[in-house]
Copies of this chain bind each other. A is one copy, B any other.
Amino acid sequence: MRIGVLGTGVVGQTIASKLIELGDKVTMGARDAANEKAAAWASNAGEGAHAGTFADAAGFGELVVNATAGGVSLAALDAAGADNLTGKLLIDVSNPLDFSQGFPPTLSVVNTDSVGEQIQAAYPEARVVKTLNTVSANVMVNPGLVPGDHVVFVSGNDPGAKGEATALLGRFGWPAERVVDLGDITTARGAEMYIALWIRLMGALGGPSFNIELRKP
């Protein structure tokens, strides 16, 4: 399928490359059409890989992935344009990390709001699903890097959109039974605030390639 990936960082490149590997066609979107990282990715990623602006990528995609940093996601989507998002599944994998005070980062949105909600509120005609933000980029597209069963979350207002997102997660290697539906898009607050623990776990465990499994009676 045709997918627009917004963002040229590690997360955007990792997801975009996985999609090409899976046979999808991808336009990676950046603020500027001349973005060097997006151009380099498009030349190296193989057949079906293109680079363009945020609007090019969003217009190209039957579904759109927001892989920009959470603090600039609304600006990126504004550049992408509401018309290019209407009716589409918009998968938001961002985290509102604020590194302005150094490491560890704080969250620029917490408690009574989340980036996922802000995006859904700004683009009511998009079908926003928050997912994958709770694992590192390499685990997002290759859950088998982490041994055993472990989970990923989906938050969104549209059950159909969550189903489509779960199908895409399945293509990345996430079994449907390990995709936990947290509820509507407000539950993205939980998935985003978990990152404060994730950051400390990364320190305690010595690296980012880990995840959590749920245990219940």
Residues on A close to B: CB < 8 A? 101, 106-107, 110-112, 145-150, 155, 180-183, 187, 189-191, 193-194, 196-201, 203-205, 207, 209-217
Chain B residues whose CB sits within 8 angstroms of the CB of A196 once the complex forms: 110-111, 189-190, 193-194
Q: Smallest CB-CB separation from A151: which chain B residue? A: B212
Contact B217 A209 (CB under 8 A): yes
Q: Among B147, B155, B204, B207, which residue has its beta carbon within 8 angstroms of that of A215?
A: B147
Q: Smallest CB-CB separation from A192: which chain B residue? A: B196
Q: Given A205-B214, A217-B147, does the pair A190, B200 have CB atoms closer than 8 Å?
A: yes
Q: In the assembled complex, how far is the CB of residue A114 from the closest CB belonging to chain B, in whole angstroms? A: 9
Query: What are 17 of the A-B contact pairs (CB < 8 Å)?
Result: A110-B110, A145-B217, A149-B215, A183-B204, A187-B204, A189-B196, A190-B200, A193-B197, A194-B194, A197-B197, A201-B214, A209-B217, A210-B214, A210-B216, A210-B217, A211-B215, A212-B212
Q: Given A194-B193, A196-B189, A197-B193, does the pair A204, B181 have CB atoms closer than 8 Å?
A: yes
Contact A216 B205 (CB under 8 A): yes
Q: Given A213-B212, A215-B150, A217-B145, does the pair A190, B197 have CB atoms closer than 8 Å?
A: yes
Contact B217 A203 (CB under 8 A): no
Bound complex: CA A94 to CA B146 (Å): 31
Chain B residues whose CB sits within 8 angstroms of the CB of A193 once the complex forms: 107, 110, 193-194, 196-197
